[in-house]
């Protein structure tokens, strides 16, 4: 059932159709990439907060994000999805895709909505970076190691983004910074420090975006200096939070958990 989405007018997955090919430059500009991340956040927020009981997808990857002709994203492949019970420990076998699974699954064998949040963060970063963010994920898991001192060095945000595209400008630059900062909070090693998908979706649908404290090319971030969701460190100054109220629609393909 995982391919059913392509039978209803979908062009294919983010990875298969666009991100790593020529389309990644010609069709997936910054506005389109931000739109894709928005759609995915809405879908997961719907599963986690509007469904009763809540649904955890458990295999959020770029391959399972389908694109319609207008580049609206739809989450697909619910073959590993699971209903979450508040009266159960929700133990599980390890399922999902390598490079996208939350690190705590291997230790606790317990599935929560924060597992999907982690996977969302990986996908969001991959969409913006044009490559899998393996180095950032490794730095999150080695906080106590000696190499952490080097990994905690400041990185220019522009250097993390897909180098095939020109740097975003004006309002689009603000949107990219917001998506990046939210994605980085989603891949925190400790599940309890990750935001909920409802929080992420609401921030991404904010009616107004915060001003950047510095020109886009000068913004830097520290991989492991996060304290509050979606705050961005920039040369010692914390980027102000975006505010706004928004509805959270469902962006899902025609598949349900089995």
Q: Which of 59, 77, 113, 116 is catalytic?
A: 59
Tokens of 9: 């007018």
Residues 6+ apart with CB under 8 A from 185: 121, 193, 194, 195, 226, 229, 230
- DSSP string spanning 129-157? HSS--HHHHHHHTTTTSTTHHHHTSEEEH
Backbone CA torsion sign across 187, 213, 209, 70: negative
Residues 6+ apart with CB under 8 A from 12: 6, 18, 66, 67
Residues 183 and 180: their CA atoms lie apart, in Å, by: 5
Other CB atoms within 10 A of residue 226 CB: 20
Other CB atoms within 10 A of residue 244 CB: 12
Of the candidates 224, 188, 32, the residue with the CA atom closest to the CA atom of residue 115: 188
Q: Is 159 a catalytic residue?
A: no
Helix (H, G, I), strand (E, B) or coil at 244: coil
**Residues carrying an active site annotation:** 59
């Amino acid at each position: 059932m995982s391919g059913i989405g392509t039978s209803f007018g979908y062009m294919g997955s983010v990875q298969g159709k666009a991100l790593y090919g020529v389309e990644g430059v010609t069709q997936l500009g910054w506005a389109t990439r931000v739109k894709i991340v928005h759609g995915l956040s809405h879908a997961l927020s719907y599963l986690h907060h509007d469904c009763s009981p809540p649904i955890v997808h458990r295999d959020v990857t770029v391959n399972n994000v389908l694109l319609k002709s207008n580049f609206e994203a739809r989450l697909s492949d619910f073959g590993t999805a699971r209903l979450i019970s508040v009266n159960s420990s929700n133990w599980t076998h390890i399922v999902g895709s390598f490079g996208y699974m939350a690190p705590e699954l291997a230790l606790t064998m317990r599935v929560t909505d924060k597992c999907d949040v982690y996977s969302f963060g990986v996908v969001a970063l991959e969409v913006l970076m044009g490559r899998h963010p393996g180095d950032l994920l490794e730095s999150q898991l080695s906080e106590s190691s000696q190499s952490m001192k080097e990994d905690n060095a400041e990185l220019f945000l522009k250097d993390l983004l897909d180098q095939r595209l020109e740097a975003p400008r004006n309002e689009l630059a603000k949107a990219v910074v917001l998506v990046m900062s939210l994605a980085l909070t989603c891949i925190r090693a400790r599940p309890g420090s990750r935001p909920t998908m409802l929080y992420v979706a609401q921030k991404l649908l904010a009616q107004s975006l915060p001003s950047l404290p510095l020109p886009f090319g000068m913004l830097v971030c520290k991989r492991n200096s996060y304290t509050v969701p979606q705050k961005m460190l920039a040369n010692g100054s914390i980027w102000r939070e975006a505010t706004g109220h928004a509805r959270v629609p469902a962006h899902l393909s025609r598949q349900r958990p089995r």
